[in-house]
């Protein structure tokens, strides 16, 4: 579907409209086909897992703790979006404290991996995109098999003592592919027999109501780590060179260092209902520029530019648009430089929290108690509408009523009042300007 066609199916707030019957039928067919395919894969992987279980039946497995386990190399696997990967870095930090002599590697998808390049606790960052296997024809493409074999050789060469599958079946498959004799993860998220060390439960179990970082720390604890309260706060390290590059980029865009720098991330992945309404963004940003003289920077990827264009079409002022112009390390540096970040539930929201930026997080369909920012500098805004939160992690975060009223109820005036409080609390060098009449 072209971008123009996508926008034809959205209302004035930028949310999807109710689909036609034909589109409903198509979505049902796609979901049914996906369930059948996943069930087939599960059956095949279960057979492979039974073989793995038989092969290790006679082996003596020692507990994973500092008394019995002395790893030289550990592999942490998270094949997920940027925000989830950022939260997962608490595993790396706690394991490094527990096993300081061990080298810890990270395996992540290419679009997320570079966010951790400045992390001093990581020896290597390896990227691989398992999504190339989503279509059946991928099985007949030699390039895909060559990439998988090259990854296997690289992982085997590292001779890992432990591989940790942080989330999902792909991480479990890659844990086996790594050749590590010990493989730890939530067994119910994997395939039978794939993990040598099964942790009870699974992500987002309806009985848990547990935050993502707590799931991650549960895995670290099972690997032998002792968890302290401060370990719940993720921390990202910023590349000094990226900071210099961002400062140069801002200067080229006319950045006034005497005015507050406010970053606004207007987009989000995995659900359009996680986005705040288009006219609300336009009204807020206009007001930030007029009344604070703020340097407002719009962040995002290249694919976010059509959304940003829709917002700026509703505006009279001119923000700085850096969407598609920064790498992930540069984005982290930009958010660290900002006096304030305003965002919906998104990867940059978690990045901002992890680099210590004061943050306003606008939540609608997703539950901040499960996946919200973990930072003492974060203020979470949400409405008390009866159906929110509604996201169940089985699909994109889109409104089943096609109204997204939970986001519409959070007004620009409400957000602006919190902006005033945050900037005042931070001692930001800004004062409200008198508007010309």
- Using one digit for the tens of pLDDT, what is the confidence trace for 237-269? 999 999 999 999 999 999 999 999 999 999 998
Q: How far apart are CA 79 and CA 87, in angstroms?
A: 13
pLDDT at 432: 46
Which helix (H) or strand (E) element contains residue 310? Answer: helix 305-313
Average pLDDT over the chain, rounded to whole? Answer: 90
pLDDT at 158: 97
Residues in contact with 175: Cβ distance below 8 Å, sequence separation at least 6, in sequence order: 75, 77, 163, 164, 165, 183, 185, 194, 195
Location of structure tokens 């009279």: 316
pLDDT at 8: 67
Reported as a pLDDT band with limits 50, 70 and 90, residue 58 is low
Mean pLDDT is lowest, of 31-45, 216-230, 309-323, 373-387, for: 31-45
Residue with the bigger pLDDT between 313 and 209: it is 313
Q: Which pair of tokens denotes residue 96? A: 């490094």
Residue 7 pLDDT more than 80?
Answer: no
Residue with the bigger pLDDT between 169 and 52: it is 169
Within 10 angstroms of residue 328's Cβ, the number of other Cβ atoms is: 23
pLDDT at 197: 94
pLDDT at 51: 79
Q: What is the mean pLDDT of residues 289-315?
A: 96
Q: What is the mean pLDDT of residues 117-133?
A: 95
pTM of the full structure = 0.92
Rg over alpha carbons for the chain, rounded to the nearest Å, is 23
pLDDT at 435: 36
pLDDT at 277: 97
Reported as a pLDDT band with limits 50, 70 and 90, residue 218 is very high
Q: What is the mean pLDDT of residues 102-127?
A: 97
pLDDT at 2: 46
Residue 24 pLDDT more than 80?
Answer: no
Most confident range (mean pLDDT) of 32-36, 167-171, 252-256, 325-329 is 325-329
pLDDT over 70 percentage in the chain: 94
Within 10 angstroms of residue 260's Cβ, the number of other Cβ atoms is: 22
Q: How far apart are CA 100 and CA 385, in angstroms?
A: 47
| Runs of H (alpha helix) within 70-227 | 82-98, 110-113, 142-158, 168-177, 212-222
**Cα distances (angstroms) measured from residue 284 to each of 72, 278, 280, 292, 307:** 52, 10, 6, 11, 16
pLDDT at 269: 86
- Using one digit for the tens of pLDDT, what is the confidence trace for 133-186? 888 788 889 999 999 999 999 999 999 999 999 998 999 999 999 999 999 999
pLDDT at 26: 74
Mean pLDDT is lowest, of 127-141, 310-324, 371-385, 407-421, for: 127-141
Reported as a pLDDT band with limits 50, 70 and 90, residue 6 is low
**Cα distances (angstroms) measured from residue 91 to each of 186, 214, 235, 271:** 14, 10, 11, 27
Instruction: Give the pairing type, strands 182-186 and 103-108.
Output: unpaired
Mean pLDDT is lowest, of 28-42, 79-93, 270-284, for: 28-42
Which domains occur in the chain, in start order?
48-53+63-232 (3.40.50.2000), 240-425 (3.40.50.2000)
Residue 97 pLDDT more than 60?
Answer: yes
- Using one digit for the tens of pLDDT, what is the confidence trace for 338-365? 999 999 999 999 999 999 999 999 999 9
């Amino acid at each position: 579907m072209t971008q123009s066609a996508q926008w034809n199916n959205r209302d004035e707030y930028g949310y999807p409209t109710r689909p036609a019957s034909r589109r409903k039928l198509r979505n049902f067919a796609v979901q049914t086909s996906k369930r059948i395919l996943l069930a087939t894969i599960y059956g095949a992987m279960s057979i492979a897992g039974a073989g793995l279980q038989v092969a290790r039946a006679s082996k003596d497995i020692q507990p994973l703790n500092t008394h019995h386990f002395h790893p030289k190399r550990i592999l942490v696997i998270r094949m997920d979006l940027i925000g989830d990967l950022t939260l997962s870095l608490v595993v790396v930090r706690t394991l490094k404290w527990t096993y300081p002599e061990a080298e810890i590697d990270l395996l992540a998808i290419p679009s997320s991996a570079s966010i951790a390049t400045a992390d001093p606790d990581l020896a290597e960052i390896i990227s691989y995109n398992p999504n190339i296997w989503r279509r059946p024809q991928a099985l007949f493409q030699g390039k895909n098999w060559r990439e998988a074999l090259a990854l296997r050789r690289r992982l085997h060469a590292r001779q890992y003592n432990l591989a940790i599958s942080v989330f999902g079946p792909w991480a479990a498959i890659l844990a086996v592919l790594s050749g590590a004799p010990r493989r730890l993860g939530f067994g119910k998220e994997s395939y039978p027999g794939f993990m040598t060390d099964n942790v009870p439960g699974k992500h987002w179990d309806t009985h848990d109501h547990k935050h993502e970082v707590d799931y991650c720390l549960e895995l670290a604890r099972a690997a032998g780590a002792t968890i302290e309260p401060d370990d719940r706060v993720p921390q990202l390290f910023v590349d000094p060179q990226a900071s210099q590059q961002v400062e140069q980029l801002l200067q080229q865009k006319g950045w006034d260092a005497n005015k507050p720098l406010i970053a606004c991330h207007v987009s989000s992945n995995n659900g359009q209902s996680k986005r705040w309404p288009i006219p609300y963004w336009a009204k807020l940003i206009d007001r930030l520029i007029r009344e604070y003289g703020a340097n407002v920077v719009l962040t995002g990827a290249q694919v976010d530019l059509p959304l940003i264009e829709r917002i700026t079409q509703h505006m009279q002022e001119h923000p700085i648009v850096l969407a598609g112009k920064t790498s992930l390390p540069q984005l982290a540096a930009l958010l660290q430089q900002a006096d304030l970040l305003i965002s919906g539930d998104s990867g940059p929201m978690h990045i901002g929290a992890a680099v210590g930026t004061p943050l306003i997080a606008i939540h609608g369909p997703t539950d901040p108690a499960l996946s919200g920012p973990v930072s003492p500098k974060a203020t979470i805004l949400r409405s008390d509408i009866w159906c929110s939160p509604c996201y169940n992690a089985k699909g994109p975060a889109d409104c089943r009523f096609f109204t997204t009223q939970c986001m519409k109820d959070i007004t620009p005036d409400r957000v602006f009042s919190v902006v005033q409080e945050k900037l005042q609390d931070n001692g930001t060098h800004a004062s409200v300007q008198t508007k010309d009449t």
